[in-house]
A and B are shown apart, each in its own frame.
Chain A
Amino acid sequence: MRDVAVVGFAQRQMPQFDGSPTCVELLVPVFKELYEQTGWTRKDVGFWCSGSSDYLAGRSFSFVQAVDAIGVIPPVNESHVEMDLAWAMYEAWIKIQTGEVDTALVYAFGKSSAGVLRRTLALQLEPYTMTPLWPDTVSLAGLQARAGIDAGLWDERAMAEVANRSLTDAEKNDHAIRKGGSSVEELLARPMYADPLRKHDCSPVTDGVAALVLAAGDKARDVRERPAWLTGISHSIDPMGMGVRDLARSPSAQRAGAALDLGGVEVAELHAPFSHQELILRTELGLGDDVVINPSGGALASNPMFSGGGIRVGEAAQRIWSGDADKTLAHATSGPALQQNLVCTLEASTEGERI
C-alpha cells in the first residue's frame, strides 16, 4: 500500500447561499485557498473527484457545470460520486493506490436550502414501500431516537448533553452556522419538535462546499511538515429496509470501525446529524471517555449536504497538522438513520496498521 495523506482542507458554510446550485462561485475561492496551502497549481493535481446530487437544488448536470471551477484546458482526470465528500475521497485514495496518480483534490457542494431537504432525501429510500410515504429525514431519525430511548440505551438528557457540548465547541468554529451552548437543563426545557427530538437534536439545513487534498509519500511531505497520513479507511452499508435492523444500532459503522486499528485515537470527528447518532457511533466504534469528540462542534452546528462527512476528515486532519494530536479518527455517514458509514484514521506517522 502507498502512504497517502490529507494535506489540504477548505470549506464554506452558510444557512442560505445566494447563488447558483452549481456553487462555482464558492468552489473557485476554495480551490484558490488550497493552491495557497499546497503551493500547487491546478496542473499539479493528478485526479479530481466531486460529490453532489442534482436532486438537492433541481439543476440537472450541476456536477458537470461545477467542473468550470477547475478549468479544464488541458483536460483533467475527473470523476464524480452521488455521495458525500468522504466517499469522493475514498475513490481518490484508491486512484492513488493504483499508482496512476500521486495527488488528488476532492470537493463537494450542495445548496440544500433550494428545496425541502428532509423531503428530498426520501428519494434515497426503498422506492416501492417507503418513498411513496415520503418519510422525511427528521421522522426517520425520530424513530431511531425513540428505539434507543425505549431500549434504555440513552435518554433525552444524554442527547441534550451531546447538543450542549457541540454548540459550546462550535463557538470556536468560524464556519459553524449554529452555535452557543447553554446548559442541559435549559435545552431540556425547550419544546419538543418531532417528539422525541427537539430542534437542537437535529442538524441545521446548511448550504456549502468543502474540499480536501490528498498526496502520496514525498509529495505529501513537500506540502506539510506533519501530513495527516490516512493509516486506515473502511466503509460499509446496512440493508435499506428500516425494519430489518435494530435501529438503535449501526452495524455498518461497527463493521467499518472494526476493520481499522482504533487504539490510541485522541480526537474523533463523528458525522452525527442527530444528537442520538453520536451516542450510537461512540458505542459502535468503541470510543472511550478519553477520546475528544467533535471539537469542531460537529454536524449539529452545521451540516452541508455532501460536504458534512468530508468536513469531519478535514477537521481531524487539521489536529494532526497542528501537532494537537498524533492520531485522530474521522467518520462520515450517508443514507437514513446511519445506514452507510465510512471511518478513517489519520496519523502523524505512517507506521499505523493499514487495511
Chain B
Amino acid sequence: MSRTLSAPVTVAFDYTRSTGPVVGRFLSGLRDGVVVGGRTSTGQVVVPPLEFDPVTHEATTEFVEVSPVGTVTSWTWVPEPVKDQPFDRPFAFALVTLDGADAPLLHALDVSSPAEVTTGMRVRVRWAAERVGHINDIACFEPLAPGEAEAAAPAASSEEPVTGVVTKVSLDYQYAASPEESLFYRGLNEGRIMGQRCPTCQKVYVPPRSACPSDGTPTVEEVELSQTGTITTFCIVNVPFLGQKITPPYVSAYVLLDGADIAVLHLILGVPADEVRMGMRVKAVWKPKDEWAYSLENIDHFAPTGDPDADYDTYKHHL
C-alpha cells in the first residue's frame, strides 16, 4: 500500500477577457486576415502591438499593417509537445519578424524535423480555416519557398471590432492527499471516522492534519471517533446554485463528533429544517456499503438521535 492516496484531477476554467483598444485591434486584424503592429515612441513597429509604450508608458495609438511574410530570428525544437500547443506532434516554436515590423512574433512553425529550420529562413502565416479574433487565427507559420508569394487570406467575417477573447485553461494533476488525510479517507472506506490527537495540546482533529494548527506539532496518535455528535452551528440553505444536489430548503451543519475538537461540515436530514437547533444530538447515516469509496460522501447525512440536547457548555469552546 502506498503511503498516500492520490487520484487524477483536472482543473479547468475558460478565462474571458476584454481586449481593450490595442489587443482588440490586433485580434480584429487577425480575424480579417491582416497582421497589425503598433508603433512605439522610438519608431519601432512591434507585433503584437504593446498596449503601452515601454519608454514613455503612453497608450499605443498608431497601428501599422505588416506583411504575413517574415524571417525567423530564433527557433527551438519541441520534441514532446504538451497539451493544447498548436501541434500534437513535434514542431518548432519560432520568433518571426514580419516584413514591415521591427520586433518578432512568437508562434509555431510547421516543419517535421529540426533539419528543416534555420535562423534567417523565410516563412509566411498559415491562416486558420475559421477565424474569430484570436491568436490561433494564425494556425502557424510555414516555410516559404523561393519565389513563392504570400498566401491571401479569405475575406473578413465581420465588421465589428473584437472586444473580448476566451482562453480555455485546463490543467491536469495527479492530486495527492497527505498521509494523515489518507488515513481519514481509508477509514471512511471501511465505515470508520478517523482523527488524530496532537501530542502537545491533546486536541483531536478530524480530518487529521499534517500538523496541529495551534502548535505546529505533527499529530501522530490515531483516534477512531464516535459516529454520534452535536450540532454546534448550522445554516438553512434556501438559495439554489449550480451543481446543487438536494432541493432546498435543507440544513448544512457543523457536527462536533464525540471525542473530537473540531467539527465536520455535513448535511442534516430526517428532521424539518426549522426544527434543527444548536446542541441537537445527531448520528451518521451511511450509504449502502457497496456505494462506499474514499470519500466523506460515504456518510449520506446526519440524523437526529432523539436524545436530549447537549448542554451549551459542552460545545461552547468549539464554536
Interface residues of A, Cβ cutoff 8 Å to B? 18-22, 24-25, 28, 31, 42, 55, 57-59, 65, 67-73, 111, 113-116, 118-120, 123, 127-136, 138-147, 150, 192-197, 239, 241-244, 247
Contact = CB atoms under 8 A, between A and B. Distances in A.
A239 B165 CA distance: 22
11 contacts: A18-B176, A58-B171, A115-B173, A116-B172, A132-B136, A133-B86, A136-B82, A150-B74, A195-B76, A195-B77, A247-B95
Nearest to B215: A71
Contacts of B105: 243
Interface stretch (B1-9, B142-150, B304-312): B1-9
B178 to A, nearest CB: 3
B76 A146 contact: yes
Given A58-B11, A132-B167, A194-B76, 12 more contacts: A19-B178, A19-B179, A21-B176, A57-B173, A57-B175, A71-B211, A119-B83, A120-B171, A129-B48, A135-B106, A241-B50, A243-B105
Contact of B4 (A19, A115, A140, A147): A19
Closest 9 CB pairs of A and B: A142-B76, A71-B216, A20-B178, A24-B210, A58-B173, A195-B77, A119-B82, A73-B214, A243-B103
Contact of B211 (A68, A119, A127, A134): A68
Residue from A18, A19, A21 with most neighbouring chain B CB atoms (10 Å): A19
Interface stretch (B19-27, B274-282, B295-303): B19-27
B46 A243 contact: yes
Contact of A146 (B9, B75, B78): B75
- Interface bin, chain B: 35 or more
Contacts of B173: 57-58, 114-115
A17 B27 CA distance: 42
Contacts of B74: 143-144, 146-147, 150, 247
Contact of B171 (A65, A115, A193, A195): A115
A22 B4 CA distance: 14
Interface in B193-228: 209-218
A127 B13 CA distance: 13
B86 to A, nearest CB: 6
Contacts of B181: 20
Interface string B68-80: 0000011111110
A22 B178 contact: yes
Given A58-B9, A114-B174, A135-B106, A143 B75 contact: yes
Nearest to B93: A139
Contacts of A22: 178, 210
Nearest to A58: B173
A192 B114 contact: yes
B77 A20 contact: no
Given A25-B178, A128-B135, A150-B74, A243 B216 contact: no
B134 interface: yes
Given A146-B74, A242-B95, A25 B215 contact: no
B135 A115 contact: no
B107 interface: yes
A339 B211 CA distance: 37
A343 B3 CA distance: 40
Nearest to A144: B74
Nearest to B106: A242
B84 interface: yes
Nearest to A72: B213
In this complex, which of A42, A71, A119 has the most chain B Cβ atoms within 10 angstroms of its Cβ?
A71
A243 B37 CA distance: 12
A114 B50 CA distance: 35
Given A195-B114, A243-B95, A31 B216 contact: yes
A196 B167 CA distance: 30
B241 interface: no
Contacts of A136: 78, 82, 85
B212 A68 contact: yes
A71 B4 contact: no
Contacts of B95: 143, 147, 242-243, 247
Contacts of A247: 74, 95
Given A28-B218, A71-B211, A194 B77 contact: yes
Contacts of B209: 24, 65, 68
B93 A239 contact: no
Nearest to B30: A129
Contacts of A127: 15, 17, 167
Contact of A143 (B50, B93, B169, B211): B93
B178 A24 contact: yes
A48 to B, nearest CB: 11
Contact of A59 (B86, B175, B211): B175
A135 B78 CA distance: 10
Interface in B23-59: 23, 26-27, 46-48, 50, 54
Nearest to B78: A139
B112 interface: no
Given A24-B209, A123-B169, A69 B216 contact: yes
Contacts of A139: 76, 78, 93
Nearest to A128: B23
B177 interface: yes
B104 interface: yes
B157 interface: no
B178 A244 contact: no
